[in-house]
Amino acid sequence: MKIKSIALLAGLVLAMSLSTSALAKQELRFPINMPEPKEGQVVHVPPTMDDLEASNLHPELKRTIRRGYDLFMNTQQLRGENVFNDMNCKSCHMGEGRLPFAAPVWRAAIAMPNFRGKNQHVNNLEERIAGCFAFSMNGKPPAYGSDDMIALTSYHQWLAKGLPIFERKNFYGAGYPIEKAPSTPSYDRGKKLYTENCAICHSDDGSGMRVDGTPHFPAVWGDLSYNWGAGISRMHTLAGFIRSNMPLGQPMTMSVQESWDIAEYIDSQERPQEPRFTGDVKDTRAKYLDTFHKHTNYGLEKQGRLLGDHENFGEKDFVKPDNLRPRTFK
Amino acid sequence: MESKTKIKFSALLLGLFFSLPVVALDGDAAAGKASSAICMACHQADGNGMNIPGGESWPRLAGMDANYIYKQLVEFKSGKRVNASMAPFAMMLNDQQMKDLAVYYSQQSAGKAAGGGTDTELLAYGEKLVTQGDWDRYIVPCASCHGPGNKGAGAHFPGIAGQHAGYLESQLIAWQEGKRDNDPQHLMLAIAERMNDRDIKAVAAWLSTQPAH
């Protein structure tokens, strides 16, 4: 199959460039320790924006994809309408949504439409992106079919160029993979590690950093961070993100244990209420336990307080965006 | 649930709070000005330094973050940051003088930096590398740390826009060669050592053409 061989070839090229750069720069004090692709893994090297300009796509489509890229990189331009915290898409999906081990977003473009455990129904790519807006951006998704939504889905699909859809492959660098913690994650160890490694950018109080009022380093907890329903509020997701991406420019320098410890510390802090809040945190935790909250500290007592037991929705004046709803086909 | 107005108001307050400097440096600008005579030969009377092609460029201090300047002075004196030209002057300063100088220079206004040159191809490449980085080589965009417009972010991430090209270039090379080692957590060193000569020239050239404020 042609597509498969292209993907494999791309994989080879990447693997080769990884090993040659590792060989030539052995003297580097901070080598890029990205894992080599494993046997049988498919490596997808997404196209760049330069590739887009050089492509023969219709000029209007190019314009739409550029708009999607711009929204992805500077999502704060939707502040107060769709975004109600200090996050951008690129805050979690590093490297323009292309970087391996930083949940590269092309995977959603080939997996959707699909059944999602989180909301128990079939989601298309727009609805998947809507989830990010509702939870990670503590906001309200752009309307389905709107210019901004089409721009974002177009950018996602551009990054997936050349991949077969609906084929579950073992993709190199998908998601935020991490091994299980060797020992139980520790709040105290996490606090110390956070202070030493993270606070310089994200502040001791987790609020990140603003420069002249402009969000700069993202808030990792508190009112300006993602809410209790965000994927990255799950321990393993945050631990995986940290391990592969933090501190910036030094991937894989925190150990697996350290990454889990920091995740435990961050996930023991407060953040805006879960948009699916029923009015009672324990009830909400129980309702979404199997599909989500078994991986979070939401509704658990940590450091003497019940996490998520509040009616603080951050900057927004609604609980759940009205365009998030079940689908029935009745 | 809080009312919308109340939420907006607290957000505004929060915004104000976060835009203030983390720690205001306890220095006196007038005293700093009085001590600045020894700095002027290189950093110039207006604190804007000078780009010296082929020699050691003198960085602009005017408009830089006070805490950043203070930290560098302390580290020149302690030897954590090594520079033969700067060390003797840092040795002459006590802690209060360093604070005063830092505050004084932070309040000066930045002039135009030099050294950008006229190689439009190089400048275009520099702009791309500064603003987008090259993630395939894990060179992150400069503004990821150095703040919006690369105008600086707090005490640890100095403004690099509107700095002399010769100085920026020399610092990146110093990191590569292990001669500069005082960046917190080696956040800069990790990136600098992945850059090649052309990357460094291009980035330094383009940044020097950008507004410092």
The mean predicted confidence, pLDDT, of chain B is 91
Instruction: Indicate the residue type of B12.
Output: L
Q: Which residue has the tokens 């980085």?
A: B133
Q: Is residue A314 left, alpha or beta, with left meaning phi > 0 and alpha meaning psi from -120 to 50?
A: left
Residue B12 predicted with pLDDT over 80: no
Give pLDDT < 50 ranges for chain A. 1-13, 15-26
The secondary structure of A204-273 as a DSSP string is: TTS--EEETTEEEEPPSSSTTS--TTSGGGSHHHHHHHHHHH-STT-TT-S-HHHHHHHHHHHTTS--SP
- What is the longest distance spanned by two Cα atoms in chain B? 64
Task: Show residues of chain A in contact with B187, CB under 8 Å.
Answer: 200, 247-250
Q: Supply the pLDDT for residue A168.
A: 81
pLDDT at A20: 42
Cβ-defined contact of A30 to B184 (cutoff 8 Å): no
| Burial status of residue A228 (CB atoms within 10 A of its CB: 0-12, 13-18, 19 or more) | buried
Cα–Cα–Cα angle for A161, A163, A164, rounded to 5 degrees: 135
The reply to whether CATH 1.20.140.10 applies to domain B120-208 is no
Report pLDDT for A167.
83
pTM score of the predicted model: 0.91
Pull the structure tokens for residue B32. Answer: 């700093």
Q: How confident is the model at residue B26 (pLDDT cuts 50, 70, 90)?
A: very high
pLDDT value, residue A14? 52
The whole-number pLDDT of residue A25 equals 45
Contact B135 A94 (CB under 8 A): yes
Each residue of A236-281: pLDDT tens digit?
Answer: 999 999 999 999 999 999 999 999 999 999 999 999 999 999 999 9
Place of tokens 């160890």: A189
Rounded CA separation A136/A15 (Å): 32
- Tell the residue number behind the tokens 């019940």, with chain if given: A306
Asked if the domains B29-106 and B120-208 are classified in one and the same CATH topology, the answer is yes
pLDDT digits (tens, 9 = 90+) for B178-205: 999 999 999 999 999 999 999 999 999 9
Cβ density class A42-71: b for 16+ within 10 Å, e for less: bbbbbbbbeebeeeebeeeebebbbbbbeb
Give residue limits of the domains in chain B. 29-106, 120-208
Q: Which residues contact A270 (CB under 8 A, 6 or more apart)?
A: A221, A222, A307, A308, A310, A312
Strand runs labelled E in A22-169: 114-116, 121-123
Angle between helices B120-132 and B197-208 (to 10 degrees): 90
CB contact under 8 A, B148 and A211: yes
**Main-chain phi, psi angles of B157, to 5 degrees:** -120, 90
Superfamily of domain A187-306: Cytochrome c-like domain (1.10.760.10)
Q: What pLDDT score does A144 carry?
A: 96
SS in 3 state form for A84-121?
Answer: CCCCCHHHHCCHHHCCCCCCCCHHHHHHCCEEECCCCE
Report the pLDDT value the prediction gives residue B2, as an integer from 0 to 100.
Answer: 42
Listing DSSP states for B16-73 in one string gives: HHHHS-SS-----HHHHHHHGGGTHHHH-TTS--B--TTS-PBPP-TT--HHHHHHHH
Number of neighbouring beta carbons within 10 Å of residue B198: 12
Q: Residue B23's pLDDT is what?
A: 61
A and B: number of Cβ contacts within 8 A: 88
Helix %, strand %, coil % of chain B (to 5): 55, 5, 45
Predicted confidence at residue A11, as pLDDT, reads: 46
pLDDT the model gives residue A33? 86
Cα separation of A92 and B200, whole Å? Answer: 28
Q: Domain spanning B29-106: which superfamily?
A: Cytochrome c-like domain (1.10.760.10)
Return d(Cα A52, Cα B130) in angstroms, integer.
20
Burial of A193 (0-12, 13-18, 19+ CB in 10 A): buried
From CA A41, how far away is CA A7, in angstroms rounded? 10
How does residue B1 score in pLDDT terms, banded at 50, 70 and 90? very low
Q: Closest Cα of chain A to B92: distance in Å?
A: 30
Q: What angle do CA A311, A313, A316 make, to 5 degrees?
A: 140
HSE-CB of B117 using CA atoms within 13 angstroms: 17
The Cα–Cα gap between A185 and A197 comes to 17
Per-residue pLDDT reduced to its tens digit, B100-135: 999 999 999 999 999 999 999 999 999 999 999 999
| SS3 at position A171 | strand
Question: What pLDDT does residue A24 have?
Answer: 46
Q: How far apart are CA B153 and CA A209, in angstroms?
A: 8
The token pair at A314 is 């951050």
List the single best residue of B8, B16, B18, B71 to mutate versus A (max A Cβ within 10 A): B18
Chain B residues touching A311 at Cβ < 8 A: 1-2
CA gap A66, A151 in Å, rounded: 8
Residue B14 confidence (pLDDT) above 90 = no
Mean pLDDT along residues B29-56? 96
Domain boundaries, chain A: 1-43, 187-306
Name which of A25, A201, A252 to mutate to probe chain B: the one with the most chain B Cβ atoms within 10 A of its Cβ: A201
**Shortest Cα–Cα distance, B203 to chain A (Å):** 17
Closest-CA residue to B10 (of A221, A222, A208): A222
